[in-house]
């Protein structure tokens, strides 16, 4: 059982570069989320999706875009990376809104 898979695991970007983080889940979950984790800040929600073709903004959406073209995939894009986006990014999925979250192993992104 793969669960939630995030790629890549690590990435270093230069300011202004773009990239896409991929999240894939094989549990047929409707809900998918992107969080960022920064020291002392806990987990902050960037964007989320309640089903294929839907997306919505979380607490800290600026500078990020997302797409959910297929139910199993949730992509997080950075169009023009900034040092403030240096963080660990976690993808999560759940069966329903109040179901426990299943997390991926995280992506450590450094923007120089």
Partner 1 sequence: AQKVTQAQTEISVVEKEDVTLDCVYETRDTTYYLFWYKQPPSGELVFLIRRNSFDEQNEISGRYSWNFQKSTSSFNFTITASQVVDSAVYFCALSALNRDDKIIFGKGTRLHILP
Interaction site with partner 1 (CB under 8 A):
31, 33, 35, 40-45, 48, 50, 56, 58-59, 88, 90, 92, 97-103, 105-106
CB of 39 to partner 1, least distance (A): 10
Cα–Cα distance, 49 to 38 (Å, whole number): 22
CB of 18 to partner 1, least distance (A): 25
14: DSSP letter: -
Which among 39, 10, 19 is positioned nearest to 82, based on CA atoms? 19
Nearest partner of 6 among 55, 38, 19, judged by Cα: 19
Residue number with CB closer to partner 1 (19 or 88): 88
Q: Find the shortest distance in angstroms from Cβ 97 to partner 1.
A: 5
Nearer Cβ to partner 1, position 17 or 95? 95
Minimum Å gap between C-beta 50 and partner 1 is 5
Which residues are within 8 A (CB) of 40 and not within 5 positions of it... i.e. 6 or more apart? none
Residue 3 or 16: the one with the smaller Cβ distance to partner 1 is: 3
Nearest Cα residue to 21 out of 64, 71, 70: 64
């Amino acid at each position: 059982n793969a669960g939630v898979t995030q790629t890549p695991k690590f990435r270093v970007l230069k300011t202004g570069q773009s990239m896409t983080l991929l999240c894939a889940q094989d549990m047929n979950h409707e809900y998918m989320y992107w969080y960022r984790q920064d020291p002392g800040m806990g987990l902050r929600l960037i964007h989320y999706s309640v089903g294929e073709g839907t997306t919505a903004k979380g607490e800290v959406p600026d500078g990020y875009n997302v797409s959910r073209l297929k139910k199993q995939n949730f992509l997080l894009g950075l169009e023009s990376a900034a040092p403030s986006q240096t963080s660990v990014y976690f993808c999560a999925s759940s069966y329903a809104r109040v179901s426990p979250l299943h997390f991926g192993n995280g992506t450590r992104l450094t923007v120089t």
